[in-house]
Amino acid sequence: MESSLQNQPLTVPPVPPPDQQDPPGAHQRKGAVEGTATWSLSDRVGLAICWALGLLFCAIAVAIVAYLLVQGIKFLRPEMLWTPAAAGFTETESGGFSDALFGTMIVALMGIALALPTGIAIAVWLVEYGRPAALARITESTIEAIAGIPSIVLALFGTVIFSSTALGFLSRSTEGVVFGRSFFAAGTMLSLVALPLIVASVREGLNSIPRHVREASYAVGKTKAATTRRILLPTCRPQVATGAMLGLGRIIGDTAIIVVLLGATQNFAPVEGVGFPLNYLRGAGTTLTNFVYEASPTGNLNQPQKAYAAAFVLLLMVLALNAAVDVVHRRARKVGTWSH
Amino acid sequence: MDEELTQEYGPKWSDQRVERMLGALVCGVVALLLALIVTVFVRAWPSFSHNGLAWFSSSGDVEEQLNAISLSAQTSGEFVYTFHAWPLLWSTLLITGGAVLIALVSALFVAVFIVEFAPEWMSNILQPVIRFLASVPSVIYGLLGVLVLVPFIGNHLVTEGQKASVAGVISLTGYSLLAAVLVLTLMIAPLMVSIFSDGLRAVKPGWLEGSLALGVNRWRTTWKIGVRSARPAIVAGTVLAVARAIGEAVMLAMISGSVAFAPNPADGLIFIYEPSRPLAPTIVKNIDQLSSPPFNATLFSIAAVLLFSAAVFSLAGWTARRAMQKYLAP
């Protein structure tokens, strides 16, 4: 009986009255707007600068999307998406970037699979437990510090960890020398890049749930752990999703860690003598960011057309993630959880 | 109270157990950060101990020093560590400083615009635009920089006379301080805008209304009351942006020019067209040398400097925020 109750999904959480949803300060832009006719010249110049900069940002964003769209349509051939890169002298001979595309997906999956549970657990501990207080403060600073560490430093640290013989089973090793570059290595370090974003987002969600929700759950005899699992986490699902997608965006956009920890090849380099998924995961590979970096005029391949095509695919992924974040936000507002 | 309720659920998911498990995970993450800091500094130590404070000085050619380091591992048993990184440091300072200054001013204007002055439709456009610009991967900025901005600077902005005047020292091809600063500005400004505008939105409406009621116009109210009370957010955003700018490796490796050269502002305006290479891109460019012990120490010493400066900036930001919050309502 006990367990069947526990396994029931949570029904819709209580909806707060709509007038509570306005964040403080939201009303200050409404109401009569003063004209600028009475302002002094310098104030009006300032406002003009505001408009100019705002329009400039819009123009730059439009220019980036439009330019990559044009170049992408010009240079992207569908077969590039399922042809691996090959050695060749011209752009037509050298294949596509399917390995890079799959590499991006693998790395994103691994990174988020590690970062999401860890991030949720840390956020839950910080908000719901947080004892002793000193450890909570240290943890907060730690997360902030991880967010501030340059990813190239994380990458160098990764080379030290994953070249150790104890972790040799995560990458290729020949005669005791551990190669240290693999999808495992890159995915693990990339999860650290996504971690602070996920923690921040889930924390915000947990903090926005009013106290009385928790008290109601305790009052019917649920433990703190059960309350968190059955009520608090389902309620802040939009924030969890937002954090995951922001983290995903950072993971697929990161280049430094990939260049250092996944290797400079343009193809999968599976390890011999290991079963199917593991041989690829333990081997070196590439991602779209790495491909763009190598195919740019400063990289080793120097194939700008293919770089444009890959960058276009990458940009589409980023745009899709952005749109997904928007959808989640809008839906959360409609359902009426306690998110802003 | 929690302890009593725990009994009903049995030992598997009891509160104490969950708390202990989560606590252990948290301790693990803290330990990982400590391990990172210790590892980076331990690995960097040979380079620092051989060079002393001369590590930060400028003498000789950095490229030659790097070559000597890599050669020493291949040929003799005697490792060479001599490395004087001033040109790289100077380039980091110039590029980061320039980008943060431009981004700070423009992000402040844009944030004020979004929160206070933009019509509804305009801020509805601007907010997603800012979010989009913040999420574009740095390598795409780098690609656009190297294929669009760099050729433009090299072909149209730099005159033949300028190219000839420094021909013996360095070649001006468009890979330049100017390109690096502009693209880096574009990368960090959206980050600042989103944090600044959150801060501006959190300003108490009563304070602004008080100022408006005294007859001060909206523009001055915003700057004198709104922006000033949002100073903690402005510091926080700036610190975050500085950390991003210092650590940016790949984009700068693509467009800053990749020559260890220290552009000198005393040479006149031409210095903005000169190539250079900051610290972080130096690591990316030399990453294949990681397996040679002296080079490894040198790269880690660069990483240690990056880590240290990121820490100093966030500490400074934290101190500044605390000092400001003391005089403001919570």
Q: Which residues of B touch A124 (CB under 8 A)?
A: 22
Residue of B nearest to A58 (CA): B129
Asked if the C-beta of B312 comes within 8 angstroms of chain A's C-beta atoms, the answer is no
Contact between chains at B15 and A264 (C-beta distance less than 8 A): no
Contact between chains at A256 and B109 (C-beta distance less than 8 A): no
pLDDT of B326 reads 67
Residue of A nearest to B298 (CA): A156
**Nearest CA-CA partner of B134 in B189, B181, B200, B201:** B189
**What is the rounded CA–CA span in Å between residue B317 and residue B314?**
5
pLDDT in tens, A228-266: 999 999 999 999 999 999 999 999 999 999 999 987 677
Cα A120 to chain centroid distance, Å, stands at 14
Q: What angle do CA B17, B18, B21 make, to 5 degrees?
A: 85
**Residue A289 corresponds to which tokens in the numbers above?**
């960011």
Residue of B nearest to A221 (CA): B5
Q: Which residues of A touch B186 (CB under 8 A)?
A: 60
**What is the rounded CA–CA span in Å between residue A115 and residue B175?**
37
pLDDT of A266 reads 78
Contact between chains at B139 and A39 (C-beta distance less than 8 A): no
Q: Which residues of B touch A58 (CB under 8 A)?
A: 125-126, 129
pLDDT of B10 reads 57
**What is the rounded CA–CA span in Å between residue B221 and residue B206?**
12
**Cβ–Cβ < 8 Å for A290, A268:** no
Residue A136 clears pLDDT 80, i.e. is over it:
yes
Instruction: Look up residue B233 and give its DSSP letter.
Output: H
Contact between chains at A122 and B26 (C-beta distance less than 8 A): yes
Q: Which residue has the higher pLDDT, B205 or B167?
A: B205
Per DSSP, the residues of A235-250 read: HTHHHHHHHHHHHHHH
**Residue A320 corresponds to which tokens in the numbers above?**
């899709």
**What is the rounded CA–CA span in Å between residue A7 and residue A232?**
15
**Cβ–Cβ < 8 Å for A115, A194:** yes
Q: How confident is the model at residue A22 (pLDDT cuts 50, 70, 90)?
A: very low
Residue of A nearest to B13 (CA): A225
Q: Which residues of B touch A29 (CB under 8 A)?
A: 115-116
Residue of B nearest to A180 (CA): B291
- The position carrying tokens 């907060």 is A140
Residue from the list B110, B139, B240 with its beta carbon closest to the beta carbon of A57: B110
SS3 content of chain A, % helix, strand, coil (to 5): 70, 0, 30
Residue B24 clears pLDDT 90, i.e. is over it:
yes
Beta-carbon pairs below 8 A across chains A and B = 261
Q: Which of A222, A255, A287, A294 to mutate to test the interface with B (most CBs of B within 10 A)?
A: A255
**Nearest CA-CA partner of A267 in A104, A105, A97:** A97
CA distances from B166 to A208, A253, B157, B162 (A): 60, 37, 15, 7
pLDDT in tens, A38-97: 888 999 999 999 999 999 999 999 999 999 999 999 988 888 888 888 777 677 777 788
What amino acid is encoded at B192 in this protein? M
Q: Which residues of A touch B18 (CB under 8 A)?
A: 224-225
- A334 phi and psi, to 5 degrees? -70, -45
Q: Which residue has the higher pLDDT, B148 or A179?
A: B148
**Cβ–Cβ < 8 Å for B89, A30:** no
Contact between chains at A121 and B22 (C-beta distance less than 8 A): yes
Contact between chains at A322 and B132 (C-beta distance less than 8 A): yes
| pTM (2 d.p.) | 0.88
**Nearest CA-CA partner of A293 in B278, B255, B174, B260:** B255
Q: Which of A193, A223, A252 to mutate to test the interface with B (most CBs of B within 10 A)?
A: A223
Q: In sequence order, which residues have a C-beta less than 8 Å from that of residue A218 and are 6 or more positions away?
A: A224, A227, B1, B2, B5
Asked if the C-beta of B217 comes within 8 angstroms of chain A's C-beta atoms, the answer is yes
Peptide linkage before A132 cis (omega within 30 of 0):
yes
Contact between chains at A53 and B307 (C-beta distance less than 8 A): no
Cα B178 to chain centroid distance, Å, stands at 17
**Nearest CA-CA partner of A233 in A249, A217, A250:** A217
Q: Which of B143, B146, B152 to mutate to test the interface with A (most CBs of A within 10 A)?
A: B143
Predicted complex ipTM:
0.89
pLDDT in tens, B2-21: 555 444 555 567 888 899 99
pLDDT above 90: percentage of residues in chain B: 52
E-strand ranges in chain A read: 173-174, 177-178
**What is the rounded CA–CA span in Å between residue A172 and residue A302?**
28
Residues 243-302 of B with CB under 8 A from A: 243, 246-250, 253-255, 258, 280, 283-284, 287-288, 290, 299-300
Contact between chains at B287 and A223 (C-beta distance less than 8 A): no
Q: Following CA atoms B193, B196, B197, B202 in sequence, which dihedral angle do they give, to the nearest 10 degrees?
A: 170
pLDDT above 90: percentage of residues in chain A: 49
What amino acid is encoded at A90 in this protein? T
Cβ density class A2-35: b for 16+ within 10 Å, e for less: eeeeeeeeeeebeeeeeeeeeeebeebbeeeeee
Domains of chain A with CATH codes: 76-335 (1.10.3720.10)
| B254–chain A nearest CA distance, Å | 6
Domains of chain B with CATH codes: 87-325 (1.10.3720.10)
Q: Calculate mean pLDDT across residues A4-20.
A: 46
pLDDT of B213 reads 92
